[in-house]
Amino acid sequence: MSLYVKDSTYKVVFEFEGGVKVHGEFSRIYAPITVSRLVSSLPLNGRVEALKGWLYFTVDISLRPEKPKFNCEPRWIGYWPLAKAICLFYEKTSLKSPVNRIGSISDSDFALTRIPSGVRVRIRPV
């Protein structure tokens, strides 16, 4: 599938090792430069780090803060510039370094609570 970064929203799926899939949507409304760069780099692969209320995994893309947020809501998808990481939030979370909100989780976020650190993940377009 060829992706041209011209639309405002992009449907994606996060495929976790073990068979868990979480659907989401990236939206240029939140951070147009960040979303454009990430979408043009799909698919992306990583290894999960699980924290209280959220998961993240590093990607080999370096971007600056764009409309940064320190307080994140459940079901948000973010890009964390400090760690060069994609984040999935399933609880309200306050951070010490900002995240660029890039989209939302479409599915129930309950599955995220069961994903441990070390699991492989792949984001791809739907």
Predicted pLDDT at 24: 96
Is the predicted pLDDT of residue 6 greater than 70, yes or no? no
pLDDT at 5 over 80: no
Would you kindly state where each structural domain of the chain is located, as residue ranges?
A: 9-125
Per-residue model confidence as pLDDT tens digits over 21-75: 999 999 999 999 999 999 999 999 999 999 999 999 999 999 999 999 999 999 9
pLDDT at 2 over 90: no
pLDDT of residue 1: 42
CATH of domain 9-125: 2.40.100.20
DSSP helix, strand, coil percent of the chain (3-state; round to 5):
15, 50, 40
What residues pair up with 72 in beta bridges, in sequence order?
93
Q: pLDDT for 74-111, tens place per residue?
A: 999 999 999 999 999 999 999 999 999 999 999 876 78
